[in-house]
Structure 1
Amino acid sequence: MRHSLPGGTLVLHPDELHDGEAGTEAGFRYRMIYVEPVVIQQILGGKPLPFIPTGLSTDPRLGLVLETFMQSIDAPLERLEEEDALFDLAQALDAVGNKRRGRRAYDYQAAERARDYIHASNGASITLDELEYVSGRDRWSLSRDFRALYGTSPYRYITLRRLDLARKMLLGGFNLVDAAMAAGFFDQSHMNRHFMRCYGLSPARWLSMLGRQTCTIVQE
């Protein structure tokens, strides 16, 4: 028997028998994701599945990377955003499972080709398939190299470029809805969420601080 508290992470291997019950009469809630084991192994280059002793973890690294999947229950994820999150999850599982990492060589030219493609796309939605093709590097090695060389994931890098584009448009007089769509976001709320996460304030508040007027179109 194992006991988990709010904020903990349960990690179960495929086909592992288990059950669960509330520790008190107040009941309990949880959110769950299923990940194909082969995806984790592909990301880790064929290594065995990371093992979490006791199946429970309070390591904050796991909780942090799982936030993206938890929010996807309420808001859709773009394909590249999901693949980024899978990469981060595999790395966190590997780290928390105490797997030793050897030194790896990075392909700078391949990462640069991917980054140039992102810039040329000007905010458009991009998949890891596309980046794999233009870079000539397999997707998970490219994801690893991109993080190591540029300090962020491909999806977060694209998001920052979209935010750069949105800010230029807003300063140029675009309303919030049009700027969001033109910069490659699903809608205004999608842009607002990433803007808040990156800069700590809403686009409207940012414009207000600059003395600019904001316009929002309400659609029924």
Structure 2
Amino acid sequence: MTHGRNFGLLTTFEEAREANPYELARHWSDVSSLAKFSGFETRHLAYDIDELATMAALGKCLVQWLPIAINKALLAGGTVGQLATAAGMSPQELAATWREWSHGQRWMWGEGLIENRARAHDRVEEILAVALGERTCADCGGAIPTGTPPYPADMDGNGRLCSNCQQRAGVDMNDLVECTDCPARPLFDRAAIDHHRHLTHRAR
């Protein structure tokens, strides 16, 4: 990444992407003014090319940073409605934008995602799930994050406890049976799985 504002007029997207994004934003303001107010008779193609490269690189960078801004604002106490209005998105679009980024972070870092960041991701997932009316824990009332194994599942295959409450309840996953006929693959006690299959899947 290039630091300092002495990178001159840019000619390619790759050059612009190498620049510090904050300095690139200031550079865009300078060059955009030159391109727009130099007059049709005296304007130079070099300014227009520089403006295009700068805008393309800056736009890509801001799109990549958007879910990080969502993450910070939700953890700071902002509501999903406030953020959706600020971003010009629906709450569902806002959640999808953040979740795609969060999934990528978890996939990239795996178990290397440090504990406090993992908790922060879980917290934002809970905030989004509650705001969107998704599943909530029957014990603590918090949201059940997407991907949490549904347990103990009701007859419709919906889990009633979040992962934290599952741990506090001493759930032993080795004693549970997964229903492979349900899309969410809910987990049942061995005594309940047959009853669930009889009621839910007997017509199949």
TM above 0.5? no
Structure with higher Rg: it is 2
TM-score, normalised with respect to structure 1: 0.30
Normalized per residue, the structure richer in helix is 2
Choose between structure 1 and 2 for higher RCO, CA contacts under 8 A separated by at least 6 residues: 1
